[in-house]
Amino acid sequence: MPGVVQDWRVELVETYPDLFHPVGDPATAQGWPEVGDGWRDLLERACVRIRAAVQADGGAFQATQIKEKYGTLRFYWQGALSPDAYVKVEEVIDLAEARSACTCEICGESGRLHDSGWLVTRCATCAGERRLVEIRLGFENVRIEERYIADRRIVRCRRYDRDFDSFVDVDLRSLDPEHLRFLGIEEG
């Protein structure tokens, strides 16, 4: 149909059948992106990277749910990958989720978390009357992950750099210990 602009979600699912595994209507694919247009770019970038990791590995991947929750992207998947490829794919998804936390879900410009009864990530223009959620000094774009590897507790603290689309390690000791305790993170 001339003059009809195809939804980017259809295009994404059809461009990456190896990741979405659509059967028939792309909109019925499990991983159909239920997010705003502003996150199109970060999802396209994630798909390019996931495909590269999966193809290099020869394993299988399926996006099972892509949605927004508490203002940021959630990207769930299932598959069968080597441990190395698994780590690569998880890193790609961490980057996409971190980018969503500072990218307006409506227009794709730089954004911040806003609250109007529910949390959304918006630029100042798209935020309208919503209240900006204050982030404790030093904790902007910081992700803290706790993992247990062979009973050993590993705390990883990284800051997402939107300009370089990469993570920078942050020394936990440089952050306000009181706020860390508030977040339930003990130094160690």
Binding stretches for Zn ion (CB under 5 A): 104, 106-107, 109, 123, 126
Nearer to Zn ion, 59 or 108 (CB): 108
Q: Which residues contact 159 (CB under 8 A, 6 or more apart)?
A: 140, 141, 142, 143, 167, 168, 170
| Alpha-helical runs (H) found in 59-82 | none
Which helix (H) or strand (E) segment holds residue 42: the answer is helix 40-57
Dihedral sign, CA of 29, 91, 37, 71? Answer: positive
The minimum distance between CB 120 and Zn ion, in angstroms, equals 10
Between residues 73 and 126, which has the closer beta carbon with respect to Zn ion? 126
Least separation in angstroms between residue 126's CB and Zn ion is 3
Q: Nearer to Zn ion by C-beta: 48 or 133?
A: 133
Tell me how crowded residue 3 is: count the other CB atoms within 10 A of its CB.
4
Q: Based on CB atoms, which residue is closest to Zn ion, 102 or 155?
A: 102
Least distance to Zn ion from the beta carbon of 27, Å? 25
Closest distance of CB 108 from Zn ion, Å: 7
3-state class (DSSP) for residue 23: coil
Tokens of 120: 């959304």
